[in-house]
Amino acid sequence: IITIAEVLERVNDFERMLAEFYAKLSHETTREGVRLLSDYMSRHRQRTHTALLELPIDEAEEIRRVCHTSLRYEPQGLGTCCFEGVELGPNASAAEVLDVAIKFDECLIRFYKQVSQQHVDQHIKELFESLARKELSDEIQLKKIKAMDYF
């Protein structure tokens, strides 16, 4: 059994891992475009925390009220398993970095949907649906950047 608070903490842990991953890549890469992209990605990975801070006060209070609600099913697929098969060396291209970023977004989207599809308080459902939409929007932006061969 896992609570909403624990789910949100797991997401924050995952976002910290992503920030560290991108910061390390930014430091190790030999390509300026990859350095710029990975530096941006490392700073950009505080989405869940930011989304919670941006909630209207009444919604935030309602989320806090129900954050100790237990989920019937523990959502899966977020954490180190998302890093399996991800190997970016110092010569990685921007396209490879974007592919990895898209993979990470897809992990988060699946995770958020697993929570929102359970029988939970409406505020919790809306929060996780909103988080999934933000990640989907980000995934679309990353795909556009990749298609434009911006870097």
Tokens describing residue 112: 């958020």
Query: How close are the terminal C-alpha atoms of the chain, in Å?
Result: 44
> Tens digit of pLDDT for each residue in 68-84?
888 999 998 887 788 88
> Tens digit of pLDDT for each residue in 96-119?
989 998 998 999 999 999 999 999
Which value, in Å, is the radius of gyration of the alpha carbons in the chain? 16
Alpha helices, DSSP H only, in 1-151? Answer: 4-28, 32-44, 47-53, 57-66, 94-116, 122-148
Choose among 110, 99, 98: nearest CA to 136.
110
Confidence of residue 151 (pLDDT cuts 50, 70, 90): low
Query: Given its phi and psi angles, is residue 149 left (phi above 0), alpha (psi -120 to 50 degrees) or beta?
Result: left
Confidence of residue 36 (pLDDT cuts 50, 70, 90): confident
**CA distance readout (Å), 138 to 12, 29, 62, 141:** 17, 23, 27, 5
- The percent of residues above 70 in pLDDT, for the chain, comes to 97
Query: Given its phi and psi angles, is residue 85 left (phi above 0), alpha (psi -120 to 50 degrees) or beta?
Result: left
- Contact between 73 and 106 under an 8 Å Cβ cutoff? The reply is no
